[in-house]
Amino acid sequence: MIGDGTEPYIVITGLAVAFLMLIFLVVFLTTALIDREQLRMQSEAERSFNSVFLALQDSTSKALRTMAEESVSGIGVYSSMGRRVLSLGNVPMTIPLDRFSSSLELISKSNPNTGVATYNRATKTIEYIRFSRLTILLDTGQLTLTESGLLPTPIDFPDVLYLHFDGEAYHRRLVLTGAIGIASTLVLIALFLLVLNIYRSNRRYRETIAKQESLVNLGQAARTLTHEIKNPLSAITIQLALLKKTLPEEYISDLVVIDQELKRLSQLTNKVSDFLRNPLGQPVQVDLNELLETLIKCFDKPITFKSEKRYYIDFDEDRARSVFENLLKNAVESAGDRDPQVEVEIAGGKRNMLYISIMDRGDGIPASEARKIFDPFFTTKIHGSGIGLSISRQFVKARGGNLRLYRRDGGGTVAEVTLPRSIHPIRKSTKDTP
């Protein structure tokens, strides 16, 4: 079975390979169709050439009729220097043989009975040029008869045959083939992006559904557990208070551990209750700089604080304190006995957002646990409950922000809280009202 971590890479890689193969196939077919059109143009040019020259052997009028039937607009015989000797129709006085020389040399070596057909974009005609089948041999100052028994005169004997005919149909087919190939490639790319987006959306939807189901189950279980735990905790607290009154003074110190554990359990049940009920609370305007400066003084390890200016947020005071106290506590405890080198920084961002970064040089977040770090009751601490980060993110998201943890360059962790900046006048907390 494919693991959750490797599934996206395998699926996306498979989709990319499949679509690349399809794109390669489209390019290959487009190239093959263009080559076919070029061969077709060459074949049409050779056929028109043979038809006109065969008709020319009978009469000029028959050659003109054949030219009209074959859509040939001009035919000419040119000297080896590219000068016109005779012609029918509209052909140039000279032709640039250097433009065709390299292709003609290759063809004359492989198949001397064919020529070169090219499309002229300026005139929108197909030009066909080839060497004459007649040859001139100069031997001891005399001209030798050709294979057909003709004696060429004058000495500058025609060497090149040329014709041109309408090439708009060929050009349209070529443009259509190229357009279809490009359109098909773009459609495949768009289809790939669409399939990729559908897959990612489906994966996010599945993850959201799974988390919601997990939270529903967790909520039901936690609600029951919290209720069941609070009753015995109340009884134990009452009994502990009685023991403190009745036991001699020398035994009171032994009850400290029980008292601490009772408080820890009470705090845990209160946190679970906070997680389950509405996380919004009663938002008031909170001086973020003052809150962080106050919390930093509660820790025995040095914490550097940096802020561009004084910032305010609309947040429930108790929940704001819980969020940043929990993040600072995690940062301070991230390096064990070493100095975690904790740094806190507030910076303003776009769209009236604030970025509060709590950075440390601790042990960092293992890659295998990065996806579970916000799962309720997941923790790597021996004495941790795993509920703090879940509650903190719940509180932050309720105020339109976000909380994310990621690795810090050079080692350690960055806890980044994004929250909207308060733009309202400062309101005094109702909790401070006498």
Write out pLDDT tens, residues 9-50. 888 888 889 899 999 999 999 999 988 888 888 888 888 888
- pLDDT at res. 387: 60
Mean of the pLDDT values across residues 74-103? Answer: 78
pLDDT for 59 beyond 80: yes
Residues 6+ apart with CB under 8 A from 265: 229, 233
- pLDDT at res. 1: 42
- pLDDT at res. 216: 67
Residue 281 host element (H or E): none
Give which of 327, 328, 323, 288 is closest to 307, Cα–Cα. Answer: 288
More confident residue, 416 or 221: 416
Give which of 258, 274, 272 is closest to 319, Cα–Cα. Answer: 274
- pLDDT at res. 57: 79
- Chain mean pLDDT for the chain: 77
The proportion of the chain whose per-residue pLDDT surpasses 70, expressed as a percent, equals 75
pLDDT for 154 beyond 70: no
- pLDDT at res. 136: 35
Residue 248: band (very low, low, confident or very high) from pLDDT cuts 50, 70, 90: confident
Give which of 312, 304, 394 is closest to 357, Cα–Cα. Answer: 304
More confident residue, 228 or 323: 323
Least confident of 59-68, 113-122, 216-225, 328-337: 216-225
116 in helix, strand or coil? strand
What digits encode the pLDDT tens for the residues 285-310? 999 999 999 999 888 888 999 998 89
Residue 319: band (very low, low, confident or very high) from pLDDT cuts 50, 70, 90: confident
376 in helix, strand or coil? coil
More confident residue, 398 or 345: 345
- pLDDT at res. 420: 92
Please give the torsion angle defined by the CA atoms of residues 113, 114, 115 and 118, in that order, rounded to the nearest 10 degrees: 170
Q: 310-330 burial string, b = 16+ CB within 10 Å, else e? A: ebbbbbbbebbebbbbbbbeb
pLDDT for 213 beyond 90: no
What digits encode the pLDDT tens for the residues 170-186? 888 888 988 999 999 99
HSE on the CB side for 151, CA within 13 Å? 2
**Alpha carbon distance, N-terminus to C-terminus of the chain:** 62
Q: 239-277 burial string, b = 16+ CB within 10 Å, else e? A: eeeeeeeeeeeeeeeeeeeeeeeeeebeeebebbebbbe
- pLDDT at res. 381: 53
- Count of residues in the chain: 434
Which residue carries 């070029």 as its tokens? 38
Beta bridge partners of 414: 359, 406
- pLDDT at res. 249: 77
Instruction: Respond yes or no on whether the N-terminal peptide bond of residue 154 is cis (omega within 30° of 0).
Output: yes
- pLDDT at res. 298: 86
Distance CA 61, CA 50 (A): 16
Distance of CA 87 to the CA centre of its chain: 61
What is the reported pTM?
0.45
Neighbours of 295 (CB within 10 A): 19
Distance CA 186, CA 199 (A): 20
